[in-house]
Amino acid sequence: MSATTQNVRSDDTPLPSQPTVPAVLPELRPSWWETGVRARADAGMLGVFTELPGLIRKAVRVAWRADRVRTSMVAVATLGSGVLAAFGLLATQRVLIELFAGGPTPDRVRAALPALILLAAAAAIRGTLGMAVGYALNGLTPRVHVAVERELFEHTTAVDLKAFDDDGFAEGMERATRGTEAAVELVQNTMNLFAGVVSLLAVIIAVITIHPLLLLALLVATVPTGYAALRAGHVRFQSYLASSTRRRRQWVLQTLMADRVSAAELRSYGLRRFLLGLYDRVMGAQIAVELAVAQRVTTTTSVGASIGGIALTGVYALLGFLLLDGQIPLAAAATCVIAVQAAQRALALLTFQVDRVYASGQFFNEYIRFLVAAAEHLPPPADERPVPEPLRELAVHAVTLQYPDRDRPAVDQVTLTVRAGETIALVGENGSGKSTLAAMISGLREPGSGTIEWNGRPYPEWDTAGLRAHIGVALQEHHKWPFSAATNIAMGDVDATADPERIEAAARRAAAHEMIEELPHGYDTLLDRTFKEGQDLSGGQWQRITAARAFLRDAPLLIMDEPSSALDPRAEDALFQALRDRQGRHTTILITHRLANITHANRIFVMDHGALIESGTHRELMAVDGVYAQLFTLQAAGYRAA
């Protein structure tokens, strides 16, 4: 932006030159939560009606799976309500026939009384059925939500870790979470749509029963009105979209002008006028867009209302003609007027629900799309694979793994063997592939090529859960679970009962015990500030908890990826002492940049750009004077200099 403009302060002091800004902000990335509104704003009438049957089928299927009894109750009660609506119209006609007949008024009222009683009974039963639908829906919708959400979580927790390397997968998962709420809306909207269709059909059937010619009047009253209502719905969604775009742009500007983070730079660079100018321009353009859409909404709804009025006039004219021509009796014409009003109410409900089914269906489609995508990443169903014995030997043969969108492998043809009781270390510069190799050894990732064997058998031939149970892992990027300190540690062996002594022993080995004791509620302290009295921990404290979790399992194979990067010297010493205690008893794979901590390792493997370039004991590698010796000497020099 090279051009500049002169701005003047309110006190007329010239402001320094300000860069010009575009009239509007660049186009916003489509937001997932606008999916349904955007789709309906873009879809034509044909598109909506083509897709609608499929969406309705999905809604019925999901409701049926969640709760058959309540789904059936809603369907039956809605149908019953429709039958009673038709019956009510016929009873109304009977009442009118009796009232319009000749003779004294008391006689006419008496004659109309049975039909009136039937009419009142039909209305009362309809009310009860309406209540039954309400209760059934109240019970059905939370069950639908739980069923779809659980199915989503069943997938998200089972898919291979590899799936998360794909950005599209993570985005699809976010959209799918919105789709679980949309499932509830879709079911509700579909049921309402069904109610609208049933009411309309009831009126049509009643009208045909009264006199087939009246169907013509009904069509005149409903078809143009229905069309106008659907057009108006389409434009209304365009209006939602426009106002949602304005709100999102406002939000962007708000974070620039009314946020703590930007406050200091805003002042130090004197950006106030610049940003206010940007606000005026962006909002000016945005309001113009919104106004144009609002005008279209007004025009369309007004045209719709006029069409409704003209249609109604047409109905009256037609009824008048049929009456004068002697084609229909007066009572039938009067009932038809009532029927037309009922039909228009049903139509309004129906067209509104068509829009809503379509919009909520788009979100639900996202959910279904995600489940289909996730199914491709699910592990094969558990068959009768053997559960491995504790480790005797782990053999990695020519293992390679290349991440998607990367032009070189993260791990390249690595071969190594680890025997039970050994402590081995993986070292190398950042990005050399240590964590990736560890992820494959821990069974979290599958190699692209090559094999990893546990006691002479490739990983895929062992029962996956059984294999993982023998491996404890402390990841470099550990998760801060929002539970108590005790639970955070106990999660290292979630299938075992939480034994306080075992938890404390694990915490002691990770130098976490004293630190936990000092927390306000000791081991019961919640480690998440979202909760009342929840606490947050420092990076090093969290690292101790993570190490304690890994120690709790006391697995035959323990993999620790950078377990001490945030630890203070005392905690680090305690941790490595605990790791040394495992030597000879259990197997440990250690990844660390603190080379002084691995001099005791049985073997050290040095990685560079994914390949294994050196291996041996500390002494052997120092004698070779290769990369390891250089790195070690460099680090040691730092301490010596001090």
Count residues binding ligand ATP (CB under 6 A).
13
As measured in angstroms, the least distance from the Cβ of 590 to ligand ATP is: 12
Residues with Cβ within 8 Å of residue 581, at least 6 apart in sequence: 509
As measured in angstroms, the least distance from the Cβ of 373 to ligand ATP is: 18
Which residue in 436, 525, 592, 597 binds ligand ATP (CB under 6 A)?
A: 436
As measured in angstroms, the least distance from the Cβ of 442 to ligand ATP is: 13
Q: Does 432 bind ligand ATP (CB under 6 A)?
A: yes
Nearer to ligand ATP, 47 or 431 (CB): 431
Q: Which stretch binds ligand ATP (CB under 6 A): 94-102, 348-356, 431-439, 508-516?
A: 431-439
Residues 165-184 binding ligand ATP (CB under 6 A) are: 165
Of the candidates 208, 200, 192, which has an alpha carbon nearest to the alpha carbon of residue 82? 200
Distances (CA, A) of 26 to 21, 23, 248, 285, 288: 11, 9, 12, 12, 16
Nearer to ligand ATP, 355 or 412 (CB): 412
Binding to ligand ATP by CB under 6 A, coded x per residue (else -) over 317-336, reads --------------------
Q: Does 105 bind ligand ATP (CB under 6 A)?
A: no
Q: Answer left, alpha or beta for residue 165, where phi above 0 means left and psi between -120 and 50 means alpha.
A: alpha
As measured in angstroms, the least distance from the Cβ of 562 to ligand ATP is: 6
As measured in angstroms, the least distance from the Cβ of 369 to ligand ATP is: 23
Nearer to ligand ATP, 232 or 418 (CB): 418
Nearer to ligand ATP, 191 or 607 (CB): 607
Residues 465-484 binding ligand ATP (CB under 6 A) are: 476
**Residue 263 and residue 223 in contact, taking contact as beta carbons nearer than 8 Å:** no
Nearer to ligand ATP, 174 or 518 (CB): 174
Q: Which stretch binds ligand ATP (CB under 6 A): 37-45, 174-182, 429-437, 449-457?
A: 429-437
Q: Which stretch binds ligand ATP (CB under 6 A): 149-157, 208-216, 228-236, 430-438?
A: 430-438
Residues 388-427 binding ligand ATP (CB under 6 A) are: 403, 406, 410
Strand 393-401 and strand 449-454: pairing? Answer: antiparallel
**Residue 583 and residue 421 in contact, taking contact as beta carbons nearer than 8 Å:** yes
Q: DSSP for 551-589?
A: HHH--SEEEEESTTTT--HHHHHHHHHHHHHHTTTSEEE
Of the candidates 462, 465, 208, 204, which has an alpha carbon nearest to the alpha carbon of residue 350? 204
Nearer to ligand ATP, 192 or 597 (CB): 597
Residue 444: Cβ within 10 Å count: 17
Q: Does 446 bind ligand ATP (CB under 6 A)?
A: no
Of the candidates 86, 116, 315, which has an alpha carbon nearest to the alpha carbon of residue 206? 86
As measured in angstroms, the least distance from the Cβ of 613 to ligand ATP is: 13
Strand 603-608 and strand 423-428: pairing? Answer: parallel
**Which residues make beta-bridge pairs with 606?**
427, 614
Find the helix or strand (DSSP H, E) in which 409 lies: none
Q: Which stretch binds ligand ATP (CB under 6 A): 240-248, 297-305, 434-442, 535-543?
A: 434-442
**Helices 330-375 + 35-42 axis angle, to 10:** 120
Q: Which stretch binds ligand ATP (CB under 6 A): 172-180, 202-210, 348-356, 428-436?
A: 428-436
**Residue 629 and residue 636 in contact, taking contact as beta carbons nearer than 8 Å:** no
Binding residues (CB under 6 A) for ligand ATP: these are: 165, 403, 406, 410, 428, 430-436, 476
